[in-house]
């Protein structure tokens, strides 16, 4: 069942964004891939929320030990304890759109592709493994103000 967290610690919540917000967000941006039934879109929002739950560590702490999601949070600068920030909702919407075309957490094989194989004295050489983690700079940028970590971890620009 699709249940949206409103900031009031909703029992059984599994999405940080309601369907009306997501529909409006994608309409404003002309995202033509945001199609399908309400159930399909709700499923995408749940998967996007799941991804954010698994991937990111946020500042502050949970408002209640019984809340089902990582938000709402207390002690996050400039965010009230009963609010789901718009930047977080936007990140969920962007990830939900991505869910429409591919899984956010695909299974990855631990071995690389074979580069060289010799049968007689059995040698096998593999290509170097590429990074298995997908980079999502737009999502990271939206969530940056809410992520935990030291203030030392800031982008460096060389001139």
Quick: pLDDT tens for 107-128: 655 555 655 566 676 766 655 5
The pLDDT of residue 79: 94
C-alpha closest to that of 72 among 136, 147, 8, 130: 8
Query: Look-up: residue for tokens 């103000």?
Result: 145
* Mean pLDDT of the 26-55 span: 95
Q: Which 8-state DSSP code applies to residue 43?
A: H
Q: Does the residue 98 lie in any domain?
A: yes
User: What does pTM read for this prediction?
Assistant: 0.78
Considering only 57-71, 83-97, 139-153, which range has the smallest mean pLDDT? 139-153
How many domains are there within the chain? 1
Q: Does the residue 157 lie in any domain?
A: no
Instruction: Give the structural domain span for 18.
Output: 1-129+136-149
What does the block give as tokens for 145?
């103000």
Q: Does the residue 111 lie in any domain?
A: yes
Instruction: Confirm if 59 and 147 have CB atoms less than 8 A apart.
Output: yes
Q: Does the residue 73 lie in any domain?
A: yes
The pLDDT of residue 103: 81
C-alpha closest to that of 82 among 106, 59, 62: 62
User: What CA dihedral angle connects 53, 54, 56 and 60, to 10 degrees?
Assistant: 50
Q: Does the residue 156 lie in any domain?
A: no
Cα-based distances in Å from 141 to 18, 90, 104, 135, 136: 22, 11, 17, 11, 9
Report whether pLDDT(145) > 60: yes
Coil vs helix vs strand at 132: coil
Q: Are strands 114-118 and 73-74 parallel, antiparallel or unpaired?
A: unpaired
């Amino acid at each position: 069942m699709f249940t949206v967290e409103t900031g009031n610690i909703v029992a059984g919540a599994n999405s940080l964004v309601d369907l009306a917000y997501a529909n409006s967000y994608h309409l404003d941006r002309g995202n033509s891939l945001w199609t399908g039934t309400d159930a399909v879109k709700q499923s995408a929002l749940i998967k996007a929320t799941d991804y954010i739950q698994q991937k990111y560590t946020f500042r502050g702490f949970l408002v209640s030990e019984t809340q089902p999601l990582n938000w709402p949070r207390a002690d996050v600068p400039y965010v009230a304890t009963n609010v789901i920030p718009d930047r977080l909702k936007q990140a969920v919407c962007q990830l939900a759109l991505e869910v429409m075309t591919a899984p956010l957490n695909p299974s990855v094989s631990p071995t690389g592709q074979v580069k060289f194989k010799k049968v007689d004295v059995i040698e096998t050489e593999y290509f170097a493994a590429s990074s298995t983690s997908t980079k999502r700079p737009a999502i990271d940028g939206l969530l940056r103000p809410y992520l935990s970590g030291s203030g030392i971890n800031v982008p460096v620009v060389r001139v």
